[in-house]
Structure 1
Amino acid sequence: MPTSRISIADCLCLALLSGVVAGCQPSAEQGGQFRFEGNGPIKIVCTTQQVADALQNIAGQHAQIEALMGPGVDPHLYRTKPSDLLKLQDADIVFYNGLHLEGRVADALEQLGQRKPVVPLAGKLEEGHDPRLLSPTDASGVHDPHLWHDVQLWSDCVGYAAERLAEFDPARANDYRANAEAYRAELAELDGEVRAAIESIPAEGRLLVTAHDAFGYFSKAYGIETIGLKGISTEDEADFSHLDHVREVLVEREVPAVFVESSTSPRLVNKLIEECAASGHEVRVGDELYSDAMGPAGSGAETYTGMIRANVAAIVEGLKEAEK
């Protein structure tokens, strides 16, 4: 994955962050850990919608939660804006995905962590070198950050976030743990739904082609082969020899659909479809997938569980098209 690039705007944000946050201490450090000292509700700022949704289910009425990135926003490319600093200034605690998903925001998060708790949901997995973490073959030491596409793995991240929030706010720790337990039971049911839905696709037709390699965890968890036209980051350069290989696979296996993503450009997918047509195989565009961001209000994908169900429905409908 490419290293983050720091622009003049980024430097300005970091400078502002140093000055703005230095005078704001919403929590106190006790025994090497931050503790919430307010009366509530806790102000939680999250980077992505997925993280914000997890924290909403954990914290419930005890928190006000904001996400820096909205629907359709690519977290790989997101840069901290000066307007974000007001949210970070007011936050009591900050949660983010981790594993370099928010690569261009990393410097701001690191600096902020000197003054208030900043928690990566992937923290326990990374610290424990969890064997379930995936790494691209050409990027030693870098993990695939798209954890949420494996519902069981994301459930473990929810449990970790609940423990960290409970440590920060012991007065309401029992509520956070109870909420997390109830939500994780819901996620266990969702995981079973996904498995049954993917198994309904004939084995030879289980091939998911998307704009970038965001569905590796989904592939491993649910038994469906995935191919991304770009790597795990949307910043990766397009490899046109790889595009030729994908075209050959689609033609040979007569795959009926490929998928665009809500937060990435459809340019490469459209080019692939044109090249398949030139080879005598018609491929259609399946319904849009939510790879890196959830959907807008009213889309049915504005929650994590809704996003997963929307993706699975689109995949099943697209890949079972050949049976119709």
Structure 2
Amino acid sequence: MKKRFVSIVALAAICLLAACGNDKTNGETKDKVQVTTTTGQVADAVKSVGADKVEVVSLMGPGVDPHLYQASQGDIQKLNKADIIFYSGLHLEGKMGEIFEKMDDDKPTVAVADSIPESKLLSADGSTSHDPHVWFDIQAWLYVVDSIEQELTKLSPENEKLFKENASAYKKELEEMDQYAKEQIEMIPEESRVLVTAHDAFKYFGHAYGLEVMGLQGLSTDSEYGLKDVQELVNTLVKRNIKAVFIESSISERSINAVVEGAMKQNHQVVIGGELFSDAMGDEGTDEGTYIGMFKHNVDTIVSSLK
């Protein structure tokens, strides 16, 4: 009962802020579309399409796990100041769902994954819900770029031509990266195309490029794992002679280290193949701080370790 009371109070505060947080100051209209996003992947797509016609603020930076993220008071203010909010969707930002629902009455609040045809979405194991890690299938992510272009055009129709040109150029880069990934993954011997990570974030990646994917935790890092889960994964590594596993930038290494240690106890040597970017991208200003740079880093790290 107490938790429900706190939730109601929090939502009331959000509504109050939304009422008074209109970002048109002193009657002045901003030149740029003010955008607030959740993840870095979504922010990068908005920046690529909007260029200098948008001002983008991303709530979740490098190393941040969106599954467990809880909005701060400062985040609520950033959301209120936006002309439009883009978030990933499919319950990726699970703890922020109520906030987006409330704010949708006040301004466009867009779950970009909703633009992807259901035929391209993968189901969560043993569930009727969909896997939210859609950015690891570039062919699915192309729909997201189109959706962002359309939404920005609604707010700034005078820039329609620019948005369309930018989206087209960005999609061409994405197609090139998709082809690069396919060519590189082909270099891995077929029997070695097994990707083992801390949580099940790479299902789309595996589906797109022919890799078998294993995660210690489920789709969300909010799910628990125990000694039984660790032992089952260890047994699989030993049985199939899998030599490398991968850590993730937004998740503690503890779970994967437990797997490595468990394999050693069975006289099977497993190495950490490298760090992958899963739910978060790299530092701003680096190649890995962009969607394409992040994707290339992951491909190169996986191939170099499994090849």
**TM norm structure 1:** 0.89
Q: Tell me if 1:258 matches 2:258.
A: no
Aligned length: 302
> Which residue number corresponds to residue 45 of structure 1?
36
CA distance in 1, matches of 2:7, 2:281: 25
> Which residue number corresponds to residue 20 of structure 2?
23
Pairing 1:85-104 to 2, within 5 Å after superposition: 85-104=76-95
What is the DSSP-based 3-state SS (H/G/I as helix, E as strand, rest coil) of the residue aligned with 2:56?
strand
> Which residue number corresponds to residue 72 of structure 1?
63
Q: Tell me: CA distance 1:243–1:17, structure 2 relative to 1, closer, same or farther (3 Å).
A: same
CA distance in 2, matches of 1:85, 1:13: 11
> Which residue number corresponds to residue 137 of structure 1?
125
> Which residue number corresponds to residue 30 of structure 1?
none
What is the DSSP-based 3-state SS (H/G/I as helix, E as strand, rest coil) of the residue aligned with 1:260?
strand
The structural deviation recorded for 1:7 is: 7.5
Which deviations, in whole Å up to 9, do the C-alpha atoms of 1:27-58 show, x marking residues without a partner?
9xxxxxxxxx9452111000111100000001
Q: Tell me if 1:289 matches 2:276.
A: yes
Q: Would you say the 8 A contact 1:10–1:80 is kept in 2?
A: no
The structural deviation recorded for 1:147 is: 0.5
Gaps of 5+ in 2: none
What is the DSSP-based 3-state SS (H/G/I as helix, E as strand, rest coil) of the residue aligned with 2:289?
coil
Pairing 1:1-324 to 2, within 5 Å after superposition: 11-25=8-22, 38-125=29-116, 128=117, 130-140=118-128, 142-320=129-307
What is the DSSP-based 3-state SS (H/G/I as helix, E as strand, rest coil) of the residue aligned with 1:288?
strand
Q: Tell me: CA distance 1:273–1:8, structure 2 relative to 1, closer, same or farther (3 Å).
A: farther
Q: Would you say the 8 A contact 2:22–2:80 is kept in 1?
A: no
Cα RMSD of the aligned pairs, angstroms, is: 1.8
Gaps of 5+ in 1: 1-5, 28-36
Q: Would you say the 8 A contact 1:257–1:318 is kept in 2?
A: yes
| Paired letter, 1:47 | T
What is the DSSP-based 3-state SS (H/G/I as helix, E as strand, rest coil) of the residue aligned with 1:131?
helix
CA distance in 2, matches of 1:316, 1:266: 21
What is the DSSP-based 3-state SS (H/G/I as helix, E as strand, rest coil) of the residue aligned with 1:287?
strand
Q: Percent identity?
A: 41
What is the DSSP-based 3-state SS (H/G/I as helix, E as strand, rest coil) of the residue aligned with 1:285?
strand
CA distance in 2, matches of 1:104, 1:279: 40
CA distance in 2, matches of 1:90, 1:298: 25
CA distance in 2, matches of 1:178, 1:123: 23
Q: Would you say the 8 A contact 2:21–2:77 is kept in 1?
A: no
The structural deviation recorded for 1:131 is: 1.2
CA distance in 1, matches of 2:161, 2:229: 51
CA distance in 2, matches of 1:253, 1:182: 43
Worse overlay, 10-19 or 207-216: 10-19
What is the DSSP-based 3-state SS (H/G/I as helix, E as strand, rest coil) of the residue aligned with 2:183?
helix
Q: Tell me: CA distance 1:189–1:209, structure 2 relative to 1, closer, same or farther (3 Å).
A: same
